[in-house]
Amino acid sequence: METGEREFDLHVESTEIPDLVAEYMSPIHVYGKVLKRGRKLHVTYTVSTIARLVCDRSVEEYDEQITVNTELNYVLDSDLFFQQKGLELDPDDVRGLRDDAQEIDVTDDVRQDLVVALPMKRVAPQFRETELPREYTTPDSGSEIDERWASLQKIQLKK
């Protein structure tokens, strides 16, 4: 690649990304650009797809749009490439590429981006603005509590 900027736009089936979590069954769209200056390359890309999730409140399946933006930096340096081979690198690390590299493989980064982007609390859109019914919240001090749980009332959280 000559000095300058190149855009890319890829559509990949989720099954083509090894070890991708089962929540992702839809095609994955990866688009961005590579900026090359001398031996340095700056890659910015966006990953966009749909995850099939199970709502924590209703146990219903729902689809959630997942979009992740990433920036990676590379340098054409075969010695650095071989030193880093097999290591897990952070997105902030400058990564070595072989001097004769013809492509940049971001498959592992895309997989990690998607796994980290999954919400920890999974609530279907129709339940996001609603309050939980009273029976799921903390009981009032005067209400009767099942004796099996009574000892938990003695626990006080420190702020």
pLDDT along the chain (159 residues), means of 10: 89 93 95 94 96 92 96 90 81 86 90 95 88 59 68 67
Interatomic CA distance for residues 55 and 58, integer angstroms: 6
Predicted local distance difference test score (pLDDT) of residue 64: 96
Tokens of 13: 């089936």
**Which residues, in sequence order, are CB contacts of 158 under 8 Å at separation 6+?**
none
Predicted local distance difference test score (pLDDT) of residue 32: 96
Phi, psi of 65 (to 5 degrees): -70, 125
Interatomic CA distance for residues 43 and 83, integer angstroms: 21
pTM: 0.74
